[in-house]
Amino acid sequence: MRRFLQRSQLLFFTAALLVFTLAVSFRREDKYFEISKNLDIFSAFYRELNTYYVDDLSAQQLMYKGINAMLDETDPYTDFIPEENLDELKFMATGKYGGVGASINTDSNKTVISDVYEGSPMYKAGVKPGDIILSLDGHNTLGLKQDDVSKLLKGASGTTLAMRTKNPISGEEHDRKIVREEINVKPVAFAGMTREDVGYIKMSQFTENGGNQVQDAFEKLKAAHPGMKGLILDLRGNPGGLLEEAVAVSNIFIDKNRLIVRTKGRIKNWDHDYKTERQAIDLTLPLVVLTNHSSASASEIVAGAIQDLDRGVIIGQRSFGKGLVQTTRTLPYNTKLKVTTAKYYTPSGRCIQAIDYSHRNEDGEADYVPDSLRKNFTTQRGRAVRDGGGIEPDDKVEPIFLSQVAVTLLRRQYIFDYATIYYYAHPQQPQPATFSLTDAEFDNFVQFLDGKDYSYKTRSEEALETFASTARKEKYFDAVSAEYQSLQQKMKHDKKQDLLKNKTEIRHLLEEEIVSRYYLQRGRIEKGLAWDNDVKEAVAVLHNPAQYTALLKGK
């Protein structure tokens, strides 16, 4: 009897397994049938449309619009890369492109060099920020859009660019022959000391060889400053890049054979654990990683590993929350598909993807993962951390937002233009860390603004206008018009008073821009360290071992 029951159970299990296998098979075949059916419909639709529509249709435009419509159903990181945009894909991965090594700013009147990369062809040719580009290879730049000017500047390494420029102060014009090179935007934008005993490394992106460059910068700081009490690794504004470089940077501070990040997707054979491969350079030096809302992807891998393994303290603001991994697939005719194939998980097991693209509202919009669905995880020492919302700092510093008048002065290029004037009037190089504008020089800047339009609306004025518009529509305005006029008059701002009220902030922006004229990007970064609140907090924590230890314990 028992044998009969065992045989019956075996037959039942075998039958159930067969039914399940067939069901899965049918579901898979149903899906493939749906794909095949709809591809046939799409092909027939395009054939009939192309044959009978009254006007000629561009095949490429139609297909690209169709592709873009499909991409609207995915996340913003999945993208179709046409052949003409492959250089952008290469730049994102390597930090390299063929060009002259300069940034530009274009308006309706002129195209101006806004930045020159140290050691680049533009740098070697003596081109300086503030120089005006008149023509490129015989093309007058007046009226050209910024993208069009950028395309003329870029080109294959070894090719020659004929450029005519004008000095912004003297008005002298110069013809230059510039040989394009492969420009390599360095991952380490600056490395130095914030004070005598605290090191600082600013990493701008995770491109090829980024790990080696951070390690080289760190080792040089240690050798030059043997009494260094701590290091600040600044990943603010770093959008990420290569996952392998994030592992390499982590390996500088985390020992061999430790899990840094795990990727998991639909294709299980592609799931992978990324571990450190070498002995760490330093396992004990107190470490602070700075993040903000623009720290994404590979930046979050490093910050997440440092936090989960309790190797250092995260200071600043919550990171962006990009926990998605992209893979590049080759398509016909030298085109590419950059497609999200997996999510990445930090050593504690959390995925820090902040926006859920798999669930959308009725308008098709994706939203942030709600707090109610975020799960708790623990670091190596038992500190509580959460998934679904980026890397939250161990020590949060409130961000400082620029005043409306400062934003307007930056947008209108008045701070940039004054720095150009100052540079040519003061040929002697100042020291970045100690340079400061005198009150008389700030007054000169205020005089420089006389007659210039830097009008703007404050947020309060915009809110008041919105109120008035709504009140008129709802027919309440007449009843409150007197109060509205009185409030409007009280809120009316005086531009010069705003300059003086925000003098410290504007002076800092001026000093950074002026120093960059002499020392380019590294000068701007070094000067900015003096009043950077995140850096100040990091230095304070590194100077206070008890506070540093308490943060690592979650207290």
322 a catalytic residue: yes
Alpha-carbon distances, residue 383 vs 167, 250, 295, 442 (angstroms): 58, 20, 22, 48
Quick one: CA dihedral 10, 12, 14, 16, positive or negative? negative
Instruction: List the one residue out of 350, 272, 271, 371 whose CA is nearest residue 305.
Output: 350
308 a catalytic residue: yes
Q: Residues near 513 by Cβ (< 8 Å), separated by ≥ 6?
A: 415, 416, 418, 419, 524
Of 75, 308, 498, 534, the active-site residue reads 308
Sole residue written with tokens 């991409």: 71
At residue 420, what is the residue type?
T
In angstroms, the CA 33 to CA 40 distance is 11
Sole residue written with tokens 């039914």: 19
Residue 241 gets which letter from DSSP?
A: B
Rounded to 5 degrees, what are φ and ψ at 313? -110, 135
In angstroms, the CA 37 to CA 184 distance is 47
SS3 37: helix
In angstroms, the CA 322 to CA 320 distance is 6
Q: Is residue 261 within 8 Å of residue 344, measured between CB atoms?
A: yes
Compute the C-alpha angle 409/411/413, nearest 5°.
Answer: 70
Q: Is residue 348 within 8 Å of residue 383, measured between CB atoms?
A: no
Alpha-carbon distances, residue 63 vs 8, 38, 484 (angstroms): 58, 15, 54
* Six token digits for residue 171: 């008005």
The total number of residues shown for the chain amounts to 555
Q: Is residue 395 within 8 Å of residue 313, measured between CB atoms?
A: yes
114 a catalytic residue: no
Number of other CB atoms surrounding residue 217 within 10 Å: 22
Of 204, 297, 299, 516, the active-site residue reads 297
Quick one: CA dihedral 517, 523, 525, 529, positive or negative? negative
Q: Residues near 487 by Cβ (< 8 Å), separated by ≥ 6?
A: 464
Strand partners, 174: 165
Of 322, 348, 516, 534, the active-site residue reads 322
DSSP assignments along 318-374, one per residue: ------EEEEEEEETTTEEEEEEEEEEE-TTS-----EEEEEE-TTS-EEEPPGGG-
Rounded to 5 degrees, what are φ and ψ at 358? -85, -15
In angstroms, the CA 205 to CA 183 distance is 15
In angstroms, the CA 83 to CA 58 distance is 17
SS3 358: strand
In angstroms, the CA 28 to CA 36 distance is 12
Sole residue written with tokens 């995260």: 314
Active centre residues (catalytic): 297, 308, 322
